[in-house]
Chain A
Amino acid sequence: MIRIACLLATTDVAPDPSVQRALLRVALSHSPRVEDAGGGRVYLDASGLHGLFGDEPRLAARLCDMAGAAGLTARVGIAGTRLAALAAARLGPGVTVVDPDGDAAYLAAAPLSLLDLSKDLSARLSRWGLRTLGELAALPTAGLFERLGGEGVRLQRLVRGEDPSPLVSWKPALLFEESVECEWGMETLEPVVERLGELAARVCTRLGERGLAADGWEWVCRLDEGRLHVGALAPAVPMTDGAAVAGLLRLALEARPPRGIVRALTLRARPARITAMQESLTDRSRPSPRLLTATLNRLVGLVGADSIGAPALLDSHRPDAVGLGAYAPLPISPSPGKRAIRGEGRASGNTGALALRRLRPPAPAAVTLTSGRPVALRSSRLSGRIVAGVGPWRSSGEWWSKQAWLQDEWDVELADGTLCRLANDGSAWHLAGIYD
């Protein structure tokens, strides 16, 4: 016979996550099967624990005492179903044990609010004049099904002391962390990198044993006088190769070394599950994730993190509205339909799309106008007489915000044949780009 204990934190306000964690710790120290119901409520499988903790009243009292030792005020109920255990914990004097097979009788006097009902359903049952769980249990099942469907039958079974769903076992999150202390201290970077490499190898071994990889790494160096040096690394792809991770850690530490003597090191990995996937012959060729990650990290050190990525067009009509997204080569080749759309502008025959080379930021320019049309250009990048030009093409946007913009654009040809785009934002002229 299944017996379930409900451990309920009694707080006036909504319990914070630390209360829930403490309840789970208490429950796990008594039973391996624990369900996290949230909201300061935890269920645990109390079957077969009498050999360890004595009979059920003693188990309930022990749970209550342990919660008190953890700084919580908790109530405990033990019954055959979750609902009856909750009722015992919530409505009982503090520690309540419901007799086996007595769930339905115990629940009969409990109020309907014990069920987590939706607002609509609660109002509907209230309109029917139902106040207690016993009144709901006494309704004819067929009529209840006609009016409320399967949900009504499920609720009625619960209040009759029948709960067929098993406990959903909660498991603590796995922590992949390794630490090392060094009493004599490490003054140079090389031993620090070596120790971190050893820690990375150990963490990677543990990850590999569970079929996991890490998509994030964090390290903490404890320095003299209690100071800390903290760093983080997010490889382009989840990794399990200790040597590769050690290489990345070396690069990161060389770019930003700890300032002081290192007394202790901690390395922590953020685990991620990798779905095994069959490679396809039709996939795009792409760099190996390990080499790519190492190369990208070196490039970040060279040009900066904000200067590398995959270009992304922003949803705006503002000129040069582009961003940089994370570069992650996908193994999946584009679908034929998508490819056809992308290929619309692709060069074929003897034609292709004309490219504009942007000037970032746009170069300030002095433009001479005759009858409102530009006839000469002078800027740091280009100067000359304008022999042909069309415009102005006016564009504007975001007039509803403080970032409102307005711009007149001209396409012009200089005397030396250069084709360029000029822009006037109402206050000054700029050379926006050169067609090439």
Chain B
Amino acid sequence: MAIPIESSPPPGWDREGIDGLLGLFPPGRLSEIVGPRSSGGSSLLLALIARITTHGQVAYLDGMDALDPASAATAGVDLSALLWVKCGSRLRTALSAADLLARCPGFSLIVLDLDELGPVPFSAQMRLQRAVEDSDAALVVHSARHREGSPASLVVATRRLAPRWMGLHPLIRLGGLRSEVSIARSRLHSSTLSPLGRGQGEGQTWALDWSL
């Protein structure tokens, strides 16, 4: 019996770890990463970008001009494969730019990082979903809040667990952050749907350590 390609992850692939989480973001669909400040959302985004820049181009629409390229390089992002568009804290500009890039084939990932500028209006979400559905690009929106009724195929929620400090008395330095990432909603087809009929990965959680 032939084994589907999808079921053969590359060597070193950790299905239970962050590899499995990052592999869920579907091409040609709208996905969301939502979570409050310091919950690991941006770190998750950089991990995803680092994964994609090994084989494709990424467009990063920076709604709040908040990207720190030094952090991105530390996370393993190949900066030469990253198109950085600074939107000057203007939501409409960021949405228009995302619409343009979603219609330009060839990008593997389009990131719309809105943080506190979001959430995206429902009509804009529908337009972005339609723009990206004929392409091979995954469109990921990062915002602080999730809007009910969003057409996103995958909604990933991040939650802060605890910071990690080095040393006790006194504290010496910030070592990192521990956060919980869960699939709040998934409309992805799965070969083996759960008895409740939920999408692939829905309800699954990961406890992740982000190191400084």
Contacts and interface: CB of A to CB of B under 8 A. Distances in A.
Contacts of B19: 348
A45 interface: no
The range of chain A's interface size is 35 or more
A350 B76 contact: no
A351 B104 contact: no
B105 A288 contact: yes
A308 B86 contact: yes
Contact of B57 (A329, A388, A417, A419): A329
A350 B57 contact: no
Interface string A413-436: 100011110000000000001111
A357 interface: yes
Contacts of A292: 104, 106
Among A309, A359, A436, find the residue whose CB has the most chain B CB atoms closer than 10 A: A436
Contacts of B38: 417-420, 434-436
Given A303-B88, A308-B85, A310-B79, A413 B163 contact: yes
A29 to B, nearest CB: 50
A330 B207 CA distance: 36
B67 A358 contact: yes
Given A302-B97, A435-B177, A342 B78 contact: yes
A312 B75 CA distance: 15
Contacts of A349: 14, 17-18
Contacts of B126: none
Interface stretch (A111-119, A179-187, A204-212, A319-327): A319-327
Contact of B209 (A299, A330, A350, A419): A350
Interface residues of B, number: 78
Interface in A341-392: 342-360, 388-390
Nearest to A283: B55
B174 A411 contact: yes
Interface stretch (B43-51, B117-125, B145-153, B189-197): B43-51
A123 B155 CA distance: 80
B68 A358 contact: yes
Interface string A273-310: 00000000000111110011001001100110001111
Contacts of B207: 350
B199 interface: no
Contact of B78 (A299, A334, A350, A419): A334
Interface in B22-76: 22, 37-47, 50-51, 54-57, 64-76
A15 interface: no
A313 interface: yes
Nearest to B210: A354
Contact of A311 (B39, B50, B67, B173): B67
A341 B44 CA distance: 20
A339 interface: yes
Nearest to B66: A357
A183 to B, nearest CB: 39
Contact of A342 (B14, B39, B76, B115): B76
B211 A436 contact: no
Contact of A390 (B73, B85, B104, B165): B165
Given A285-B106, A299-B97, A312-B69, A353 B43 contact: yes
Contacts of A320: 68
A392 B78 CA distance: 31
Contacts of A313: 69-70, 73, 79
Given A284-B56, A287-B105, A311-B67, A357 B85 contact: no
B172 interface: yes
Contacts of B65: 358, 360
Contacts of B165: 388, 390
Contacts of B73: 313, 345
Interface of B: 12, 14, 17-19, 22, 37-47, 50-51, 54-57, 64-88, 93, 96-97, 100-101, 103-108, 115, 136, 160, 163, 165, 170-174, 176-177, 206-212
Given A291-B106, A303-B88, A350-B208, 13 more contacts: A291-B105, A299-B97, A302-B100, A308-B84, A310-B79, A345-B74, A347-B47, A349-B17, A352-B75, A360-B65, A388-B163, A388-B171, A390-B165
Interface of A: 284-288, 291-292, 295, 298-299, 302-303, 307-313, 320, 322, 324, 327, 329-330, 333-334, 339, 342-360, 388-390, 411, 413, 417-420, 433-436
